[in-house]
Chain A
């Protein structure tokens, strides 16, 4: 029984190595983040874009999205459309690589494209949150999300199987101090934070 559990613990660990490292990076990144992180600088460009006189905002948004081919995004729904102070249609797309914003400048017949590019740590932090069921996502993102969910289940299983393996093994009884300390830290923090 112990041998089988040990093998499962080991193999599941090897199958989720990179995800667990992403979790570690995300935790350290979150610790060192400031309350108001510096907003990422937008890189701006323009492309010609004409709107049909009878098009609805939703149709214009879809046409703008098709014109630019923003990677890892989908057309926005009606409720996600915004307008700026000059009443220009503004479309914001959030991806793991940053924010892409399209502004439809109807009078100038062009699209303003503002793009940010997240740093590697922010990218990994965003990736660790991806789960299969929470939002519409590109196929490549969905593939990551499924493996990420598997890793989350494994993380829970590791914490239980690790303790069970230690209990089933004969040595290292003194290590109980660390388990008790871990439980103590969790209970104390839960009480302090509530």
Chain B
């Protein structure tokens, strides 16, 4: 029994260790914003427009295809000089169509690595149109299930160990009492 539970704990832990570390690091970053620099690197470029602006979605699709850009379309402003954004986590391309020159002004903002990790922490949900985001949502769900499994198997493993029983009981009781009390007080206002 002990061996089997240990194997489950080990597999869940090793499989999700990089992602758990990412969540922990980004949580600490959000709690201590002054410790990290999140300034995005910005650069602008002008590119030929593959279509005009009558249908901003079609224009966006054409430019994404020709430039091999991925992402989700947002902030669409229709008109003769339409604008829109193509977003991936950590990278935003703000695009404006210039009708006089039939070109697109592309302003790309790219977050540093810690910024991308921050965005990954916030991203979830199976509703996203992009396949990569939906894939990420599945990963988030699996990490969450693994987290619950790690807690369950961890407590189980501790219960099967005699030596750490007394201090362990004190610690888990303290945590559960604290959480029950604080959450009840918060919930009832």
Tell whether A and B belong to one assembly.
yes
Interface residues of A (CB under 8 A from B): 7, 10-11, 13-21, 23-28, 30-35, 71-72, 95-97, 123, 127, 129, 131-134, 140-141, 143-144, 147, 149, 152-153, 155-160, 162-163, 166, 172, 175-176, 178-179, 181-183, 185-186, 189-190, 192-194
In the bound complex, do residue A123 and residue B187 qualify as a contact, i.e. CB atoms below 8 Å apart? yes
Across the interface, which residues of A come within 8 angstroms of B144, CB to CB? Answer: 23-28, 31
| Contact A159 B21, CB 8 Å, known A20-B147, A34-B127, A134-B30 | yes
In the bound complex, do residue A17 and residue B136 qualify as a contact, i.e. CB atoms below 8 Å apart? no
Across the interface, which residues of A come within 8 angstroms of B41, CB to CB? Answer: none
In the bound complex, do residue B186 and residue A141 qualify as a contact, i.e. CB atoms below 8 Å apart? yes
In the bound complex, do residue A159 and residue B168 qualify as a contact, i.e. CB atoms below 8 Å apart? no
In the bound complex, do residue A18 and residue B132 qualify as a contact, i.e. CB atoms below 8 Å apart? no
Chain B: minimal CB distance from A177 (Å): 9
Interface segment, one of B60-68, B78-86, B96-104, B150-158: B150-158
In the bound complex, do residue B189 and residue A190 qualify as a contact, i.e. CB atoms below 8 Å apart? no
Tell me the complex Cα distance, A30–B123, Å.
Answer: 8
In the bound complex, do residue B20 and residue A155 qualify as a contact, i.e. CB atoms below 8 Å apart? yes
User: Number of contacts between A and B (CB, 8 Å)?
Assistant: 211
27 examples of A-B residue contacts, CB within 8 angstroms = A10-B154, A10-B158, A14-B154, A14-B158, A17-B175, A18-B175, A20-B147, A24-B151, A27-B147, A30-B125, A33-B125, A33-B127, A35-B125, A72-B186, A140-B182, A141-B186, A144-B182, A147-B182, A149-B27, A152-B28, A153-B24, A160-B17, A166-B13, A182-B17, A192-B136, A193-B116, A194-B116
In the bound complex, do residue B167 and residue A11 qualify as a contact, i.e. CB atoms below 8 Å apart? yes
**Digit string of B7-43 for contact with A (CB within 8 Å is 1, else 0)?**
1001101111111111111011011110000000000
Main SS class of interface, B: helix
Chain A: minimal CB distance from B28 (Å): 6
In the bound complex, do residue B120 and residue A96 qualify as a contact, i.e. CB atoms below 8 Å apart? no
Across the interface, which residues of A come within 8 angstroms of B15, CB to CB? Answer: 178-179, 181-182, 185
Across the interface, which residues of B come within 8 angstroms of A95, CB to CB? Answer: 189
In the bound complex, do residue A33 and residue B147 qualify as a contact, i.e. CB atoms below 8 Å apart? no
Across the interface, which residues of B come within 8 angstroms of A141, CB to CB? Answer: 186
Partner pick for A193 among B10, B20, B23, B132, CB 8 A cutoff = B132
B137 contacts A by Cβ under 8 Å: yes
Across the interface, which residues of B come within 8 angstroms of A11, CB to CB? Answer: 164, 167-168, 171
In the bound complex, do residue A193 and residue B182 qualify as a contact, i.e. CB atoms below 8 Å apart? no
| Contact A28 B145, CB 8 Å, known A190-B116, A194-B89 | yes
In the bound complex, do residue B141 and residue A159 qualify as a contact, i.e. CB atoms below 8 Å apart? no
In the bound complex, do residue B175 and residue A16 qualify as a contact, i.e. CB atoms below 8 Å apart? yes
B118 contacts A by Cβ under 8 Å: no
Across the interface, which residues of B come within 8 angstroms of A10, CB to CB? Answer: 154, 157-158, 161, 164, 168
| Contact A156 B21, CB 8 Å, known A24-B151, A190-B116, A193-B133 | yes
B48 contacts A by Cβ under 8 Å: no
**Digit string of B170-186 for contact with A (CB within 8 Å is 1, else 0)?**
01101110111011011
Closest to B182 in A: A144
Tell me the complex Cα distance, A21–B146, Å.
Answer: 10
Q: Which of A10, A16, A176, A193 has the most CB of B within 10 A?
A: A193
| Contact A152 B24, CB 8 Å, known A143-B182, A179-B15 | yes
Across the interface, which residues of A come within 8 angstroms of B116, CB to CB? Answer: 190, 193-194
Chain A: minimal CB distance from B137 (Å): 5
Closest 4 CB pairs of A and B: A27-B144, A71-B189, A156-B24, A131-B31
